[in-house]
Amino acid sequence: MNSLSLRRRSVVLAVGAAALVAAPAHAKLPEPVRAMIDAAIATGDEAKVKTVFELARATYPGDAAELDVIAADYQTSLASKNAAAAAAKEAEIRSAGLFENWTGQGELGAFRSTGNADNIGLTAALGLTREGIDWRHKLSGRADYQETEGIVTREQYLAAYEPNYKLTDQLYAYGLAQYERDTFQGFSARYSISAGLGYDVLTGPDVTLTVKAGPAWRRTELVGGGSSSSFGGLAAANLEWKLAETIALTQSASALVQSGSSTFTSDTGLVAKVSGNLSVRLSYTIEHDTDPPPGAVKTDTLSRVTLIYDF
């Protein structure tokens, strides 16, 4: 055998030896295990897939290398799928018309008031939110009305628009324009404008907490004539805490501090889901004005029972 043949034979033996070293020293992952992994992946439940991989590694430690390859392929596929979904969602939001991508709640129910009026009446409210890439728009309105024997015993209206510009995932700049009417508190119209910064303190699936603060301007037109305007500051916080699968606690509080009469408001609610998009809400609202118009008391309270429909 010449030297060239010897060298070729040496190369073949070396390649074969390397292949034997690189080959796994275990049998192929059992087909039932692979089928179980594929079934878990098909559900789209990441927690379930993670559990199945952990059980497979514990049951077949000798197949860890093959399981790692399958897991890596799954993660790559998942990342690609999520990226495609996010891109499609962003494209949908950017191409949406003015009246698209709105979500909201409608409320209808009864209330009992104490303070300036002690009555039982009707209440209605509507809240709308539109989430964009950088912007979030909020529209809200509420009406409480009572008429007894042709005499209005409570008349309170509120409408507000709040645009948010997202600076980071949690920090945003806000603007606020609000209109109120409450003749029993002594004003026929009250206009408030504010702008500042807000922060999403908690954003978990069970608890959300948002705070905001900024300078504000308010103009009040009194029932008996006359008006006043002043600058001040606004601070507010909104909490939603999911106590159980169908029960949530809500708390909204705000303070508009200015020269003259400052206003402090607190609204505490308990929401219980009835079925589908329908819920029942029990709430208690306190509104305190430090220097109300003559004839009006400083503190108003309102208890409401409403049906809520999410859309």
Which residues on neighbouring strands pair with residue 173, listed in sequence order? 165, 197
Amino acid letter at 181?
R
**pLDDT on residue 198:** 98
Asked if 123 contacts 146 with a C-beta cutoff of 8 angstroms, the reply is no
State the Cα–Cα distance between residues 33 and 61, nearest whole angstrom. 13
Work out whether strand 278-289 and strand 299-310 pair parallel, antiparallel, or are unpaired.
antiparallel
Which residue stretches of the chain are H helix?
Answer: 3-22, 31-43, 46-59, 64-95
Asked if 197 contacts 175 with a C-beta cutoff of 8 angstroms, the reply is no
State the Cα–Cα distance between residues 47 and 44, nearest whole angstrom. 9
Asked if 290 contacts 102 with a C-beta cutoff of 8 angstroms, the reply is no
CA-to-CA separations, 129 to 91, 103, 162, 273, 274, in angstroms, rounded: 19, 5, 10, 20, 23
Which CATH number fits the domain 102-310, given the four candidates 3.40.50.2020, 2.40.160.40, 3.50.50.60, 1.10.1040.10? 2.40.160.40
Who contacts 140 (Cβ-Cβ below 8 Å, separation ≥6)?
Answer: 125, 126, 127, 128, 158, 159, 160, 162
- Model-level pTM? 0.72
Residue with tokens 């209206």: 157
Where along the chain do its domains lie?
3-95, 102-310
Buried b (16+ CB within 10 A) or exposed e, 238-259: bbbeeeeeeebebebbbbbebe
Amino acid letter at 296?
A
What is the CB neighbour count within 10 angstroms for residue 32? 8
Write out the DSSP string of 25-58.
Answer: SSPPPPHHHHHHHHHHHHHT-HHHHHHHHHHHHH
**pLDDT on residue 241:** 97
Who contacts 155 (Cβ-Cβ below 8 Å, separation ≥6)?
Answer: 144, 145, 146, 181, 182, 183, 184
Which pLDDT tens digits describe the chain residue by residue (311 residues)?
Answer: 554 454 445 444 443 443 333 333 344 788 888 888 989 898 888 888 999 889 888 888 888 888 888 888 889 988 888 888 877 777 777 777 777 889 999 999 986 667 776 667 899 999 999 998 999 999 999 999 887 767 787 889 999 999 999 999 999 999 999 999 998 888 999 999 999 999 999 999 999 999 999 999 999 999 988 899 999 999 999 999 999 999 999 999 999 999 888 999 999 999 999 998 999 999 999 999 999 888 888 998 988 999 999 99
